[in-house]
Amino acid sequence: MGKAIHHQGGHGSGTSMKLVVNLMLAQSMAVFAEAVSFGEALGLEKEAILETLIGGPTTGAFLAGKKKKLLTNEYTVEFPLEHIQKDLNLVTGEAYQNHSSLPIANLTKEIYSLANQYGLGKEDFSAIYEFLRPPQK
């Protein structure tokens, strides 16, 4: 999953950290897709938006790897949207069990759930852009 090894503690701690990482991936991708969609709604060109955002202070490095998918609208699977939705369900369930309020995670889970219902579950999770983007003219 990465280059560095970070021991998290006892039994189950690695799984817990995986949920934390996947929560960040899901939320980052959804926020990025929404920002690109908003830029397009304002009349900006998608490629210019991506060039400006990727590598800037507000985007994670993994988003550079999603650029081609967003430009071509082809979402070859690296991490299926339905799997990120499953992990978000696990995150919110664990949050409930541990008396932790995660309002943004719950909203993100519902967005991915709707995208899955929309038929994007088997696509890469970056296909959340397809669900959030403005209607095509």
Q: 3-class SS at 100?
A: coil
Taking all residues of the chain, what is their mean pLDDT, rounded to a whole number? 91
What CATH number has the domain spanning 14-132?
1.10.1040.10
| Domain locations in the chain as residue ranges | 14-132
Q: 3-class SS at 75?
A: coil
The one catalytic residue among 18, 46, 67, 86 = 18
Verify whether residue 69 is a known catalytic residue: no
pLDDT tens-place string over residues 78-104:
999 999 999 999 999 999 999 999 999
Structure pTM? 0.88
